[in-house]
């Protein structure tokens, strides 16, 4: 049975191809998701700086400052705000699709673990940035976010007192938490930027800018979306009421309904479990790594081309260790080398024209020695006949080759097409081994080893060392990611001058007959794809409401903060007890620090809603005993009883309050207890 990864890979293959046709391979967004992530980050950063200039960080003034920004300057502040929101949503979507795609293509296992593992904090930081951002608006969504986040954080042993208490009512509300959120909303994106930089540290020439044309159309779609569906606030936050229905942003807040359904602890367990599973994926199941590249010192002149071409920063030049007159030599870092072979293709000594019957290039993959490749080419090509003989250099990820293409051909496989030294193509023609050469690799711009296809193109074009000699007829070479191989194949027999092969935009043309879409169709397809993505973004960002409370329900919130009395009263020490103590420990009275826990019960219409015991905080249980819980209850008249024991008594309670109250739908009814004040409610 095919694995989920297999299906995912097939799905991404189809999507990649569709996008390559609609956008052309150079603009294909699926092939530059990381670069688009950077692009969206910059849009969020620039628009965020603009918003911050007009934002008032005081909790009472925040809402008005954002409202006035949206309404008083719709073409500047309003658009900036919408760009800020939609680009943030886009960043989540891109990061998630990028994650799934890298998993599907298996570009995260073994030696390639680094980008994956550093990607996970990126995901967390994107969420922290977005969630704190929603908090700052201080509308009903912010109120929901604040209360639910507090509930979630209170499960963790991070804070001495439940932070939910900060959001029970307007009186409890303080600027303190709000200032912390403003700080976090700036610190998290800065940290995100740092991790984005770390994320690409093992990638030489990492692509952090999308193709310019793609950048324009993507920004244009964001702008169009911002104008068509401007981002707005929901109603002003009101802690006296519970917003029953909220327009959630499903990009950032999909876990929040879970907090309500499962509770904070289970939500953390699910999130932690998912993160742990993702973190283990690069090593699960374990795969055997192929041997890494090996430098042959007698053949290495220290030119450094391999260092420049390695896509994974696995090579460096170090001081010479073998006494040769060259200053440096290439050194492989086995922990980074993914055995792609691209360094072999870059080495000037990797040439089949060398006279020795066996030879070594300066750097080689032990499992694909070049001398064996040359010998096999010579032997196998000897059995080809006619004048349409083909040599196909195929990368391990090129996929199955069409039967018509394979006729009268020799196939030489290698881990990546970038491993092919251009001199091998020259060799095939110079020794009359073939009439045509096909390079079969990954789809255009989608090289699995990142740079193999690009370096190959540049070497053939003569833009990169080692280049293909000018004498080689370029028209006799076709590349699967660029040319129509069918047309190329058909043109081979007997044709003295090879026609220039038709180009196939999709690039996966390992079988004949792929055609380029007309421009009108491409533009229409692009518009449809971008329009669909924009529409989905608008829908998920604010148009799919979430009902957190039934229409005829209200909320009872129980919030207690109490300093109980010590378990044992202070008692004076006798002279004899004093004498037994060390001089520096002597004090006239002994006061054990431990205090009584609180046991709380909440009853509604004679039925128990809650019972729990809470220890005082502190290492010696000598701090404040706190608890905070919220309960959705039917609205209407009902009797409420709340009881608390805060002494050593076996039965009964020290504090009780009861009454019949009439709850309005959506009302936030708060029962509080403060030491000295007893139970208060409203
Ligand atoms: C802010 C979000 C992110 C940004 C901006 C970003 C950016 C990038 C960039 C620029 C590359 C290099 C592409 C190239 O030139 O080949 C890359 C590669 C990669 N990223 Fe991300 N990334 C993000 C999130 C993630 C996440 C969440 C994961 C997964 C946990 C992830 C996993 C990877 C992997 C596995 C690679 C490829 C490694 C390889 O080719 O060996 N990234 N990312
Ligand atoms: S095989 Fe690939 S990863 Fe290893 S050193 Fe050569 S180019 Fe770098
Ligand atoms: S390209 Fe070849 S010769 Fe040059 S440093 Fe690398 S291994 Fe040595």
Model pLDDT, residue 505: 35
Q: Which residue has the CA at smallest separation from atom 32 of ligand 1?
A: 116
Q: Which of 315, 364, 369, 417 for a ligand 2 pocket mutation test, highest count of atoms within 8 Å of Cβ?
A: 315
Are residues 290 and 358 in contact, defined by beta-carbon separation less than 8 angstroms? no
Number of other residues whose CB lies within 10 A of the CB of residue 498? 17
Q: Which of 98, 105, 121, 190 for a ligand 1 pocket mutation test, highest count of atoms within 8 Å of Cβ?
A: 98
The region of weakest confidence among 21-25, 32-36, 296-300 is: 21-25
| Ligand 3 touching residue 360 (CB < 6 A) | no
| Span 315-334, average pLDDT | 96
Token reading at 295: 């430098």
| Span 144-168, average pLDDT | 89
User: CA–CA separation, 469 vs 422, rounded Å?
Assistant: 8
User: CA–CA separation, 262 vs 467, rounded Å?
Assistant: 62
| Span 601-629, average pLDDT | 93
Model pLDDT, residue 503: 37
Model pLDDT, residue 293: 98
* Residues 244-257 pLDDT 10s: 999 999 999 999 99
pTM: 0.91
Q: Which residues contact 125 (CB under 8 A, 6 or more apart)?
A: 188, 189, 191, 192, 195
* Residues 465-519 pLDDT 10s: 999 999 999 999 999 998 988 888 888 765 444 343 333 333 333 333 344 688 8
| pLDDT for 552 beyond 90 | yes
Q: Which of 292, 297, 298, 306 for a ligand 3 pocket mutation test, highest count of atoms within 8 Å of Cβ?
A: 306
Conformational region of residue 184, where left means phi above 0, alpha means psi within -120 to 50, and beta covers everything else: alpha
* Residues 443-472 pLDDT 10s: 999 999 999 999 999 999 999 999 999 999
Q: Which is the closest atom of ligand 2 to the Cα of 111?
A: 3
Burial class of residue 590 (count of CB atoms within 10 Å of its CB; 0-12, 13-18, 19+): middle
* Residues 372-417 pLDDT 10s: 999 999 999 999 998 899 999 999 999 888 888 888 999 999 999 9
Ligand 2 pocket: which residues have CB below 6 Å?
292-293, 310, 312, 314-315, 332, 337-343
Residue 314: pLDDT band (50, 70, 90) is very high
Ligand nearest to the CA of 307: 3
- Residue tagged 């999909």 (tokens): 254
Model pLDDT, residue 494: 57
Residue 18: pLDDT band (50, 70, 90) is very high
Q: In what order do the strands lie in the sheet with 436-440?
A: 409-414, 390-395, 436-440, 477-479
Percent of the chain with pLDDT over 90: 76
* Residues 64-123 pLDDT 10s: 999 999 999 989 999 999 999 999 999 999 999 999 999 999 999 989 999 999 999 999
User: CA–CA separation, 30 vs 326, rounded Å?
Assistant: 44
Compute, in angstroms, the gap from residue 540 CA to the centroid of ligand 1: 24
* Residues 198-247 pLDDT 10s: 999 999 999 999 999 999 999 999 999 999 999 999 999 999 999 999 99
Sign of CA dihedral 564, 567, 569, 572: negative
The region of weakest confidence among 30-39, 303-312, 576-585 is: 576-585
* Residues 530-546 pLDDT 10s: 999 999 999 999 999 99
Model pLDDT, residue 511: 38
Ligand nearest to the CA of 110: 1
Model pLDDT, residue 29: 97
Sign of CA dihedral 641, 642, 646, 648: positive
Q: Output 267 or 581, whichever has higher pLDDT.
A: 267
Q: Which residue has the CA at smallest separation from atom 3 of ligand 2?
A: 337
Model pLDDT, residue 490: 84
């Amino acid at each position: 049975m095919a694995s989920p990864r297999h299906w995912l890979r097939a799905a991404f293959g189809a999507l990649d191809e569709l996008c390559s046709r609609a956008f052309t391979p150079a603009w294909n967004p699926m092939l530059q998701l990381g670069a688009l992530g950077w692009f969206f980050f910059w849009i969020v950063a620039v628009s965020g700086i603009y918003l911050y200039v007009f934002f008032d960080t005081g909790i009472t003034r925040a809402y008005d400052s954002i409202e006035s920004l949206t309404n008083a300057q719709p073409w500047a502040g309003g658009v900036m705000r919408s760009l800020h929101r939609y680009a943030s949503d886009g960043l989540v979507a891109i990061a998630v699709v990028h994650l799934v795609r890298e998993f599907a293509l298996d570009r995260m296992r073994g030696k390639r673990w680094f980008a994956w593992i550093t990607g996970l904090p990126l995901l967390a930081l994107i969420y922290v940035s977005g969630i704190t951002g929603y908090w700052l608006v201080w509308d009903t969504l912010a109120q929901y976010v604040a209360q639910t986040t507090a509930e979630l954080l209170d499960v963790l042993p991070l804070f001495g007192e439940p932070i939910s208490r900060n959001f029970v009512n307007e009186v409890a509300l303080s600027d303190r938490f709000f200032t912390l959120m403003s700080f976090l909303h700036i610190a998290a994106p800065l940290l995100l930027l740092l991790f984005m930089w770390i994320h690409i540290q093992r990638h030489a020439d990492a692509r952090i800018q999308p193709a310019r044309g793609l950048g324009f159309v993507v920004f244009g779609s964001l702008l169009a979306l911002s104008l068509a569906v401007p981002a707005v606030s929901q109603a002003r936050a009101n802690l006296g009421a519970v917003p029953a229905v909220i327009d959630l942003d499903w990009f950032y807040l999909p876990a929040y309904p879970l907090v309500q359904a499962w509770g904070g602890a289970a939500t953390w367990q699910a999130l932690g479990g998912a993160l742990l599973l993702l973190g283990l994926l690069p090593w699960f199941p374990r795969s055997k790594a192929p041997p890494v590249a090996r430098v042959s010192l007698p053949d290495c002149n220290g030119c450094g081309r391999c260092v420049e071409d390695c896509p994974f920063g696995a090579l460096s030049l170090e001081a010479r260790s073998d006494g040769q007159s060259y200053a440096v030599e290439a050194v492989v870092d086995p922990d980074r080398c993914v055995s792609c072979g691209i360094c072999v293709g870059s080495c000037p000594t990797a040439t089949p024209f060398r006279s020795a019957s066996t030879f070594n290039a300066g750097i080689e993959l032990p499992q694909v020695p070049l001398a064996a490749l040359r010998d096999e080419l010579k032997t196998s090509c000897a059995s080809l006949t006619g004048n349409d003989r083909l040599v196909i250099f195929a990368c391990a990820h090129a996929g199955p080759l069409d039967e018509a293409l394979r006729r009268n051909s020799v196939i030489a496989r290698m881990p990546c097409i970038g491993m092919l030294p251009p001199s091998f193509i020259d060799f095939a023609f110079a020794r009359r081994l073939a009439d045509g050469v096909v390079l079969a690799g990954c789809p255009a711009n989608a090289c699995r080893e990142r740079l193999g296809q690009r370096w190959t193109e540049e070497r053939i074009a003569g833009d990169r060392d080692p280049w293909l000699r000018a004498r080689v007829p370029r028209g006799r070479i076709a590349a699967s990611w660029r040319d129509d191989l069918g047309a190329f194949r058909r043109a081979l027999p007997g044709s003295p001058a090879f026609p220039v092969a038709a180009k196939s935009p999709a690039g996966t043309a390992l079988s004949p007959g792929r055609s380029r879409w007309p421009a009108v169709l491409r533009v229409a397809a692009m518009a449809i794809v971008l329009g669909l993505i924009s529409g989905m973004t608008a829908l998920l960002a604010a148009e799919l409401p979430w009902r957190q409370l039934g229409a005829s329900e209200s909320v009872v919130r129980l919030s207690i903060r109490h300093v109980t009395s010590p378990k044992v009263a202070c008692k004076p020490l006798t002279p004899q007890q004093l004498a037994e103590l060390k001089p520096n420990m002597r004090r006239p009275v002994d006061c054990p620090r431990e205090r009584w826990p609180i046991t709380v019960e909440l009853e509604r219409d004679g039925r128990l809603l809650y019972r729990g015991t809470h220890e005082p905080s502190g290492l010696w249980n000598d701090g404040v005993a706190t608890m905070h819980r919220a309960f959705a209850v039917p609205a209407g008249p009902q009797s409420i009883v709340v009881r608390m024991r805060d002494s050593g008594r076996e039965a009964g309670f020290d504090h009780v309050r009861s009454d019949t109250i009439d709850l309005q739908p959506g009302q936030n009814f708060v029962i509080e207890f403060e030491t000295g004040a007893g139970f208060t409610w409203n």
